[in-house]
Amino acid sequence: MEVHPADDDALTRYVLDNYAHLLTETERTTLRVLNLELKSDNTNSPNTRHMLEKVAENLKSPAVTDLVSQDASVCRRTIRDRLLREHGNDIILVTCPQCQRLARTPRAQMCVHCGHSWRSQGITDE
């Protein structure tokens, strides 16, 4: 399924957030290291920065180091693309029937882009 060109970053978040159970241990650790590095870059506390960098460094195996050597967004897209390639039949991409943009989650029934709702009248998921 093709997604709107503006949804490339959204597709990465969608797949990594909603299908994390399909990640390999190396990919899971890589994403954790990337998050620790981002937090480290955004903190003003030298002690916190040092602690975050130390935890990230302790998590790095040669395979993780290889993945995180890329730009963070490239690394995330590489992982996303592998999931889509190898688990395409398991990943449900929900798009808005009106504007064709990617929804936030596989269970979404309302578009965050155009506001269109495709909820069934009177039917709940509970």
Query: What is the model's pLDDT at position 6?
Result: 80
pLDDT digits (tens, 9 = 90+) for 30-77: 999 999 999 999 999 999 999 999 999 999 999 999 999 989 999 999
Query: What is the model's pLDDT at position 1?
Result: 61
DSSP 5-69: GGGHHHHHHHHHHH-GGG--HHHHHHHHHHHHHHHHHT---HHHHHHHHHHHHHH--HHHHHHHT
Query: What is the model's pLDDT at position 48?
Result: 95
Query: What is the model's pLDDT at position 121?
Result: 45
pLDDT at 95 > cutoff 70: yes
Query: What is the model's pLDDT at position 7?
Result: 86
